[in-house]
């Protein structure tokens, strides 16, 4: 392997040498299993009343459970690296299931902690949390106790957690396996090759509409062959959730995602109201884009179609240097961190077969490090992915000195640093070029992100909302799932998509609908995009002096509600539409210069 290729591959040998065959990793998991078994026995012997002796025992147990979960998370992060870098690594897939089992045992034990928490008085509970070793995680423990009061009796919660491993989460693993195995023959420039679904989706950003159209037809056709299985998985997962919610007396399917997001429903409603208004304004942008693309109708596969000079390309070194330079212009710490992550090979960027599609950042908690997964092929998009994922890694870096239970933040806040990085780098790219064709291309990329958030992501939320309403009444047939998806797309996109340009099987092809760790895996993206935009606006007004305030905001994301973080650090009430309207207006403000530039170039 050449040294050039080597620097595009991440270093995970320093975590556990040997990959999925690592003896150190096997011993690590074995020790975890032993400690979980001990914890399972210990909790049964702990007193359910609080006195000086039991206070000490429970404090030690709380700390033990935190340390065990930190190790599970560490193992999970490493396993994510293994299964992503090589989809054929069956041993890694088995280990992934093993980690799920460990987490399930941990959850079961924590149900016993919840039983204890709601069984003692408020005074005793508050007294317990005054211990110096628990002070840093008070928010976590109070949240646990509050959520426990809204669940079923502990015995049923334990059973549900155990059944979820091979039932609920099993459907997710089955879907991932089906999706990973799918391939379709694709012809381009006279060459035929077998492409994965992720590779086909990447073709949607081609400048050639025939390529985009072929990719869409192949993707739809391939997913249609397994749509009965996808429908079975989606219905089964939703059925599990709804049965659980019924047992907990949770009326709304949004109850769990709002709890996970530490977000008020009023705040989510305020955001979507503003987004609906912003989505309508995107029609002008798309009409201008249609003229540039010389098309009369706009279809699903045209959403990522590039315009302007699309020849912007970078080597991996050039992309890294550009990102580091412009992140550093705002905060030296962020720039230095990005440089360190690249130089220490925290990033898997090589463009090679056998990798999973997409990109992510995962934490390796015991090392206080992160690893970034992506595929870099030289495009502007990949440079933005690099900036985005480095934002996630920086967020974890800010929190590395905190107790484990105060390091983990909700997904809607998880997009803050990543989107902030993207905005910094996008504006830097726009300011670094003079050519009108290049500016048009970058403006398109910038507005396109808002377009996806306002229309594409909103369609997913509408689909989820309507699907769960129908699923309460019984299994939803696959034909109806496609109808619901088309209805959602018509509502979210309005007159933008042509009547025959929808994506009926998007419910099957989008893995986010099948994620068991985060129901309604959609609104956090739009939330994070707009929230980060508001923070970025403050950063532009205050300059580098804002860097310390920004860091303080990120540091609080693991120990406050989302609404409280916003109130404390940027002084806004998220349940009011004012903040969201302003955030939407910042996105749509780029439409006018895009349209003018498009008209200028069209005249030429």
**pLDDT, position 166:** 87
Amino acid 432: pLDDT? 86
pLDDT of residue 603: 67
Contact between 470 and 480 (Cβ < 8 Å):
yes
The owner of tokens 């594409």 is 456
- Token pair for 233: 């998985």
Residue 37: the pLDDT is 96
β-sheet bridge partners, residue 191: 188
CA angle 570, 576, 579 (to 5 degrees): 45
| Pick from 457, 483, 511, 518: nearest CA to 234 | 511
- Beta strands at 183-188 and 360-364: parallel, antiparallel or unpaired: unpaired
Q: What is the pLDDT of residue 313?
A: 83
What is the reported pLDDT for 2? 39
Structure confidence at residue 604 (pLDDT)? 61
User: What does pTM read for this prediction?
Assistant: 0.89
Q: What domains can you pick out in the chain, each with its CATH number?
A: 3-166 (1.20.140.70)
For residues 370 and 364, the answer to whether their CB atoms sit within 8 Å is yes
Instruction: Chunk the chain into consecutive blocks of 10 residues (it has 604) and report each block's average pLDDT, rounded to whole numbers.
Output: 70 97 98 97 93 94 98 97 94 93 91 94 96 96 95 89 87 90 93 90 91 96 97 97 96 96 97 96 96 96 88 89 96 97 97 86 96 92 94 97 95 93 92 88 93 97 98 98 98 96 97 92 94 92 92 97 96 95 95 94 72
Which of 373, 369, 512, 397 shows the shortest CA–CA distance to 82?
A: 373
Name the one residue in this structure whose structure tokens are 């933005």.
384
Is 371 within 8 Å of 77 (Cβ atoms)? yes
Short-list 512, 202, 195, CA closest to 382: 202
């Amino acid at each position: 392997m050449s040294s050039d290729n080597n620097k595009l591959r991440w270093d995970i040998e320093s975590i556990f040498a040997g990959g999925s065959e690592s003896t150190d990793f096997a011993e690590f998991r074995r020790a975890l299993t032993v400690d979980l078994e001990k914890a399972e026995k210990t909790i049964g012997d702990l007193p359910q009343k609080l006195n000086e002796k039991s206070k000490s025992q429970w404090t030690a147990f709380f700390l033990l459970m935190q340390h065990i979960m930190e190790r599970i998370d560490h193992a999970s992060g490493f396993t994510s690296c293994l299964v992503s870098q090589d989809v054929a690594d069956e041993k890694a897939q088995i280990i992934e299931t093993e980690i799920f089992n460990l987490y399930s045992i941990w959850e079961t034990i924590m149900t016993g902690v919840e039983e204890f928490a709601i069984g003692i008085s408020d005074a005793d509970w508050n007294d317990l949390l005054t211990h110096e070793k628990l002070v840093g995680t008070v928010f976590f423990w109070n949240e646990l106790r509050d959520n426990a009061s809204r669940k079923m009796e502990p015995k049923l919660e334990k059973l549900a957690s155990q059944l979820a491993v091979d039932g609920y989460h099993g459907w997710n693993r089955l879907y991932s396996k089906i999706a990973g195995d799918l391939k379709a023959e694709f012809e381009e420039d006279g060459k035929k090759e077998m492409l994965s679904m992720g590779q086909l989706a990447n073709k949607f950003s081609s400048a050639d509409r025939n390529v985009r159209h072929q990719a869409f037809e192949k993707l739809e056709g391939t997913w249609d062959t397994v749509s009965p299985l996808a429908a079975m998985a989606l219905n089964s997962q939703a059925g599990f959730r709804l049965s659980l919610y019924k047992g907990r007396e949770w009326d709304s399917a949004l109850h769990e995602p709002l709890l996970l997001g530490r977000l008020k429903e009023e705040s989510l409603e305020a955001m979507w109201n503003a987004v609906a208004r912003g989505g309508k304004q995107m029609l002008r942008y798309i009409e201008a884009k249609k003229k540039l693309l010389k098309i009369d109708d706009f279809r699903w596969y045209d959403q990522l179609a590039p315009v302007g000079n699309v020849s912007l390309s970078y080597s991996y070194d050039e992309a890294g240097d550009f990102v580091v330079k412009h992140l550093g212009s705002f905060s030296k710490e962020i720039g230095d961190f990005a440089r360190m992550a690249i130089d220490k090979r925290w990033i898997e960027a090589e463009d090679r077969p056998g990798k999973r599609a997409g990109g992510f950042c995962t934490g390796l908690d015991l090392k206080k490090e992160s690893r970034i997964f992506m595929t870099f092929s030289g495009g502007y998009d990949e440079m933005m992915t690099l900036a985005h994922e480095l934002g996630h890694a920086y967020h974890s870096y800010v929190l590395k000195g905190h107790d484990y239970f105060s390091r983990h933040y909700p997904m809607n806040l998880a997009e803050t640093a990543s989107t902030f990085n993207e905005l910094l780098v996008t504006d830097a790219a726009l300011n670094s070029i003079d050519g009108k064709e290049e500016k048009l291309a970058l403006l398109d990329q910038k507005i396109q992100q808002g377009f996806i958030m306002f229309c594409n992501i909103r369609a997913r939320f509408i689909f989820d909302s309507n699907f769960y309403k129908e699923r309460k009444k019984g299994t939803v047939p696959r034909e109806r799932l496609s109808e619901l998806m088309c209805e959602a797309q018509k509502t979210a996109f309005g007159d933008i998509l042509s009547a025959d340009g929808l994506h009926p099987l998007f419910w099957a092809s989008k893995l986010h609908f099948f994620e068991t760790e985060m129901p309604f895996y959609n609104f956090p993206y739009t939330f994070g995009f707009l929230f980060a935009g508001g923070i970025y606006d403050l950063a532009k007004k205050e300059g580098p002096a804002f860097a310390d305030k920004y860091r303080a905001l990120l540091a609080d994301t693991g120990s406050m509600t989302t609404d409280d973080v916003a109130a404390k650090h940027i002084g806004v009430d998220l349940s009011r539409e004012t903040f969201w309207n302003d955030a939407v207006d910042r996105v749509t403000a780029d439409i006018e210069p895009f349209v003018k530039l498009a008209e200028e170039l069209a005249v030429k």
